[in-house]
């Protein structure tokens, strides 16, 4: 993995709220019904309406690819770095 990709990852993560980071963790964990009670509780996402707000923010940032089913990360390096640093 290139140092440039790690720096970009840090820059993107550094601008996120804890809710947004938790949302990405849920996506990386393979959950598809992100507004379900199970996911909002397990990943501390507050509510389904908050998940919808997070989804809109992530669409604007182009971190995730919503054209795939299930949702995937736009850049191949993002998921492994998220798993390494935030999913212990």
Q: How far apart are CA 63 and CA 46, in angstroms?
A: 21
Q: Are 44 and 22 in contact (CB under 8 A)?
A: yes
Q: pTM (2 decimals)?
A: 0.87
**Tokens linked to 88:** 């212990």
Higher pLDDT, 64 or 60: 64
Domain count, the chain: 1
CATH number at residue 25: 1.10.10
Place 1 in a pLDDT band, splitting at 50, 70 and 90: low
Asked if pLDDT for residue 61 goes beyond 80, the answer is no
Q: Look up the domain containing 48 and give its range.
A: 3-86
Q: Which residue has the tokens 């309406």?
A: 49
Asked if pLDDT for residue 68 goes beyond 90, the answer is no
């Amino acid at each position: 993995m290139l140092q440039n990709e790690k720096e970009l990852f840090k820059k993107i993560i550094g601008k996120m709220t804890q809710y947004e980071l938790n949302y990405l963790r849920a996506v990386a964990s393979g959950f598809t019904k992100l507004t379900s009670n199970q996911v909002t509780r397990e990943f501390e996402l507050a509510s389904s309406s908050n998940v919808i707000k997070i989804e809109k923010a992530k669409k604007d940032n182009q971190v995730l690819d919503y054209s795939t089913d299930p949702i995937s990360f736009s850049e191949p390096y993002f998921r492994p770095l998220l798993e390494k640093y935030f999913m212990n």
